[in-house]
Amino acid sequence: SAVISQKPSRDICQRGTSLTIQCQVDSQVTMMFWYRQQPGQSLTLIATANQGSEATYESGFVIDKFPISRPNLTFSTLTVSNMSPEDSSIYLCSVEDRVPGTAWTYGYTFGSGTRLTVV
């Protein structure tokens, strides 16, 4: 399985500011996924990031609020912009685990998460 390094692990931010979360993967991956995990709620996909193209956002999430960069096949960032207390959540990146050279997926690996508190 891939190994993901996600930073920061936690942060407390003032409302109106922005925070950029980084994910580094130890292998090249086509797609990286960004999720939000709110207390008592399911993990919810924010967007899918492909290298070399615009990220694809899920319903309810917009690029102005959650801009994503994907400069290469091992790295991605998610920015939470103009934060409000409602953005307090855990943010996770994820990649698909595939058998090398095939389209066979055997799971998804997640980063350890970024616990964001907006005050």
Chain residues binding other proteins by CB under 8 A are 1, 4, 6, 30-31, 33, 40-45, 48, 58, 92, 94, 96-97, 103, 105-113, 115
| Alpha carbon distance 90, 117 (integer Å) | 9
Of 74 and 94, which has the nearer Cβ to other proteins?
94
User: Could you say which DSSP state residue 55 is in?
Assistant: P
Question: What contacts 111, CB < 8 A, 6 or more positions away?
Answer: 4, 5, 6, 23, 92, 93, 94
Q: Which residues make beta-bridge pairs with 11?
A: 116
Minimum CB distance to other proteins, residue 106 (Å) = 6
Minimum CB distance to other proteins, residue 114 (Å) = 10
Minimum CB distance to other proteins, residue 109 (Å) = 7
